[in-house]
Amino acid sequence: MFEPPKKQDSFNRKLSELHDEVKGWLPSINRIAVALYDRGTGVLKTFIHSSDDGSPLDHYQAKLAKVKSLQDIADSQKPRVINDLTVLKDSKSIHTRKIVQQDYKSSFTSPIIHNGEFFGFVFFNASEVGYFTDSAVHNLSVYAQLIGLLCITEFNAIRTLQAAVKTAREISQYRDEETGFHLMRMSNFSRLIALDLADEKNLSDEFIEYMFHFASLHDIGKIAIPDQILLKAGPFSDEERAIMKTHVEKGIEIISKMVDGFQMEHLPKISMLKNIVQCHHEAMDGSGYPQGLKGKDIPLEARIVSVADVFDALTSERPYKKAWTNEEAFTFLDEKTPNVFDLDCVNALKRQRDQVEEIQQRFHEDIIG
Ligand SMILES: [Fe+2]
Ligand SMILES: [Fe+2]
């Protein structure tokens, strides 16, 4: 029903092709990179890059408000040229220092703006001082626009999908745990886990970004479950539980229909979305559903989402239960590991406690207006 995730990162490949093209006439451009901005958390995150040697900034993120020079570009919505980066070699910012330590002598930074909204940046670096002349900037601006547009188109398709699901949910009166900030928190927790495991499991920033956007769609199939079961306050009968479990298959059907309807076949990571929907109730020992997959046969993205989802469900208040403390929820995860949950994913979440708390504070139910 679904194919395994493709190893290559297609977006990165597109960027490398554009980089080769640019080098045809500007050979000293040794890096093009894209960082994306998340309005929910105010965080700027590395996304894709094409670099001649190494990648100085993989898995890097920072609060945009704390990187003043970039915040200025985002506010003014105007590109910036620095024709001699060597003057910044003693900078306090890790980001700037890492850039200067590479063979990057000058830079051109262009904000990605769509309908007045700031999306992120396209960075061009060159190995020569003074490389970004007016005519170079003029020509590169076209590439910056193109790269920005590719990103916007890609994520608009995902947003459309998320909006369609939200609407369908509202029509179906489905108002329990998937409303409020649960989805925001669990997708941020999924991202935290992926980011923590990035070096160990060789995960690209592109993988992590898609993981973040797709995590919130894990229970998309619940919109096809009858309200009397979905909204039932008391315990389920066996039959009701069996119907509830079909939300996984229904989810896959819905994704396939939406992908056809919205012509999203081109989305490079659609198989990752399918894996999340299909496998988020699988358990490491094979006792999960619907396929009873075991261990590493469960795609990593699904193992991550199941830890993030359960952790947030436990630590949230629901009509039928009080919110558990983080401590209690971690203890529960420990008890169910390695039988149900992946040990690496649980440990990753535990290592990121500070960030977990920050996300919980930022997306707290009480502050819904
Ligand atoms: Fe589910
Ligand atoms: Fe959930």
The 10s digit of each residue's pLDDT in 49-75 is 999 877 667 888 889 999 888 999 999
For residue 273, the CA-to-ligand 1 centroid distance in Å is 13
pLDDT for 266 equals: 66
For residue 315, the CA-to-ligand 2 centroid distance in Å is 12
pLDDT at 3 over 80: no
For residue 312, the CA-to-ligand 2 centroid distance in Å is 8
Domain ranges in the chain are: 10-153, 172-367
For residue 218, the CA-to-ligand 2 centroid distance in Å is 7
Average pLDDT for residues 230-236, to the nearest whole number?
A: 80
**Which residues are CB-neighbours of 133 under 8 A, at least 6 positions away?**
none
pLDDT in tens, 80-100: 999 988 877 777 777 777 777
For residue 151, the CA-to-ligand 2 centroid distance in Å is 27
Select the more confidently predicted residue: 269 or 340. Answer: 340
Query: Which ligand sits nearest to residue 247's alpha carbon?
Result: 1
Q: Report residue 363 CA to chain centroid gap.
A: 17
Domain at 10-153: CATH code: 3.30.450.40
Mean pLDDT of the chain: 87
For residue 121, the CA-to-ligand 2 centroid distance in Å is 32
* Pick from 13-22, 317-326, 359-368: least confident: 359-368
Q: What is the pTM of this model?
A: 0.82
Cα distance between residue 111 and residue 144, in whole Å: 8
Select the more confidently predicted residue: 366 or 57. Answer: 57
- In order of 23, 33, 54, 210, 327, the CA distances from 191 in angstroms are 34, 20, 23, 9, 20
Query: Which ligand sits nearest to residue 222's alpha carbon?
Result: 1
For residue 316, the CA-to-ligand 2 centroid distance in Å is 11
pLDDT for 231 equals: 78
Query: Which ligand sits nearest to residue 216's alpha carbon?
Result: 2
For residue 276, the CA-to-ligand 2 centroid distance in Å is 12
pLDDT for 312 equals: 96
For residue 278, the CA-to-ligand 2 centroid distance in Å is 14
For residue 221, the CA-to-ligand 2 centroid distance in Å is 11
Average pLDDT for residues 225-252, to the nearest whole number?
A: 89
Q: Decide if 286 contacts 193 (C-beta within 8 A).
A: no
pLDDT for 6 equals: 43
pLDDT for 267 equals: 66
The strand order across the sheet containing 117-126 reads 61-63, 43-51, 29-38, 117-126, 106-114, 80-82
pLDDT for 333 equals: 98
pLDDT in tens, 140-183: 998 999 999 888 988 887 888 788 777 777 665 555 555 568 88
Query: Which ligand sits nearest to residue 282's alpha carbon?
Result: 1
For residue 46, the CA-to-ligand 2 centroid distance in Å is 27
Q: Tell me which CATH homologous superfamily contains domain 172-367.
A: Hypothetical protein af1432 (1.10.3210.10)
Average pLDDT for residues 268-282, to the nearest whole number?
A: 91
Q: Report residue 177 CA to chain centroid gap.
A: 21
- What sign for the dihedral angle of Cα 50, 56, 58, 60? negative
pLDDT for 76 equals: 94
For residue 281, the CA-to-ligand 1 centroid distance in Å is 6
Same topology, domains 10-153 and 172-367? Answer is: no
Bridge partners of 111, per DSSP, are 121
Q: Would you state the torsion angle of the CA atoms of residues 259, 262, 265, 266, taken in this order, to the nearest 10 degrees?
A: -140
